[in-house]
Amino acid sequence: MNYYVIASLSLLVIYHLIFYIIFRVRPYKTTIGCADEILRVWAANIIEKGKDILAVQSLRNWTMASTLLASTAILIALGVINHLVNNYELDEVTQLIVFNRMDKESWLLLKLILLTFIFFTAFLNFSLSLRSYARVGFMLGTPVDSLPMINAAGASKTLIRGARNYTLGMRGYYLAIPVIFWLFGELFFLIGATGLIIFLYRVDFLEARKIKSKS
């Protein structure tokens, strides 16, 4: 592992640690924190005013997006697995996992396994977002007084959970970009990681400032 790889991994890890700390301490400085509050108000407004059509249309759009992205993620992951099965023996994968040897071919295998893991994780998160959206659909369509657990707070928590799973799924797509660059060389990995951090900074922080400035 050379300095380019270490620098790239360090940049990605440090950025996400800083983002997580800021999100936990001052959530409204991040786009996710602002989005959580917007979804909370939206769910309460839907339940209080009975805007069923708006809820159905919005949930349908979110469900279609999650379904498309989940299907794409699992297809890519299965495609990479198919390549691994057709081009590598099982003992090679085992030797890589236990780090018996790490030559050039082993590094390529490691990158492909990492890419598969990223897309499987993205698929899992999009699937969980679909699960949350389905629950929210029933919660928003059920009369508030019929069950004690049907209220704006419960619906908003479920909706926010689905939105966060969707965000994590998209994060998987984003993280796949520098890993794909890594297939062409360690320097490209560093370039991809740097470009991704610049992009994520705009998405995570600058958009939050725009949202707050318009409110």
Q: Considering the chain, what is the average pLDDT of its residues?
A: 85
Residue pair 120/176 in contact (Cβ under 8 Å)? The answer is no
* 205, part of any domain: no
Please give the average per-residue pLDDT across 130-158, as a whole number: 75
The mean pLDDT value for 162-191 works out to 94
Structural domain contains residue 7: yes
Determine, yes or no, domain membership for 120.
yes
Its pTM stands at: 0.87
In a domain, 210, yes or no: no
**Higher pLDDT pick, 87 / 96:** 87
Residue 98, pLDDT > 60, answer: no
Quickly state the pLDDT bin for 55 (edges 50, 70, 90). Answer: confident
Q: Mean of the pLDDT values across residues 171-194?
A: 94
**What's the farthest any 2 CA atoms get from each other in the chain?**
64
Instruction: Say if CB 169 and CB 129 are below 8 A apart.
Output: yes
Q: Is residue 34 part of a domain?
A: no
* Residue 11 forms part of a structural domain: yes
Q: Is residue 28 part of a domain?
A: no
For residues 149 and 17, which has the higher predicted lDDT (pLDDT)?
17
Q: 99 — alpha (psi -120 to 50), left (phi > 0) or beta?
A: left
Residue 171, in any domain of the structure: yes
For the segment 190-211, the average pLDDT, to the nearest whole number, is 91
Expressed as residue numbers, the domain containing 108 is 3-16+52-196
Q: Decide: 81 and 116 in contact? Cβ < 8 Å.
A: yes
Q: Please name which of 5, 17, 4 lies closest in space to residue 111, comparing C-alpha atoms.
A: 5
Total number of domains constituting the chain: 1
- Beta carbons of 144 and 44 less than 8 angstroms apart: no
Query: Rounded to 5 degrees, what angle do the CA atoms 76, 86, 114 make?
Result: 45
pLDDT of residue 109: 82
